[in-house]
Copies of this chain bind each other. A is one copy, B any other.
């Protein structure tokens, strides 16, 4: 049975050419249940106007994207990162988001073990502010091809280890199929996240064989090799009740008419998620 679009939220970055207002309008009209808001679409109009637009749309807001980037050799830069993450939390609260997604960061020349320590420390310093604003923080494990400079957390397991250290209802995991589909431990880790109450988010897109670019060549669901229904069954079995977030970066797709493209996404969601 195909899914109803009301179970899905679309990330604004999926339709990068659009403004926040265009995204809200199009997603609501198409029948999607929610929107996840990237900071770039807020920046140009300010958080007050962004909050007005998002709240006026009637869409649910799983996530503000993205905080993180905690590790740095210089402690003053780490402090700036914590401050910036607190601003993310404020913005998330303003638009009515459930969580801030964290791309945790990595630094060339710093061992990944040290970077993960600094990530844990950085998140811990945001926790009080997150709790005060009732905003969850979701660590997103990024594909190992981003381990050099974007994320020192590349599997669900390392995200879990941070969660187990911090033991807060405000720290959990955003599981994006693009990053974790290859992981032989994925089923086990999703189950554990369910048990530990840390499965905050579930993101879908697809992995294109012969991927042409490390950043912006994601496929629409069904265009690639990921068994998305299997992973969705895993997260649902683990108790996940949130919206399925559609997050696709694609230079090719951004060049299309975004209304036509959103239709394609809607059909793909119903058929392949």
Contacts and interface: CB of A to CB of B under 8 A. Distances in A.
Interface residues of A, number: 29
Q: How many copies, total?
A: 2
Interface in A193-218: 207-212, 214
Task: State the main secondary structure of chain A at its contact with B.
Answer: loop
A73 interface: no
B145 A209 contact: no
A227 to B, nearest CB: 7
Residue of A147, A149, A157 most packed against chain B (CB within 10 A): A147
Given A111-B227, A143-B145, A148-B207, 6 more contacts: A108-B209, A143-B144, A145-B214, A148-B208, A149-B209, A154-B184
A250 to B, nearest CB: 16
Interface string A223-240: 011010000000000000
A118 to B, nearest CB: 15
Contact of A184 (B108, B112, B143): B112
A66 interface: no
A225 B108 contact: yes
A144 B182 contact: yes
28 contacts: A108-B209, A108-B225, A111-B227, A112-B184, A143-B144, A143-B145, A144-B144, A144-B145, A144-B182, A144-B183, A145-B145, A145-B211, A145-B214, A147-B181, A147-B182, A148-B207, A148-B209, A148-B211, A148-B224, A148-B225, A149-B209, A149-B210, A149-B225, A154-B182, A157-B184, A211-B214, A212-B214, A214-B214
A125 to B, nearest CB: 23
A155 interface: yes
A143 B154 CA distance: 12
Nearest to A157: B184
A142 B211 CA distance: 15
Contacts of A145: 143-145, 211, 214
Interface string A143-163: 111011100001101100000
A212 B217 CA distance: 12
A212 B182 CA distance: 21
A147 B143 CA distance: 12
B225 A182 contact: no
Interface string A174-187: 00000001111000
Contact of A109 (B182, B207, B225): B225
A112 B184 CA distance: 8
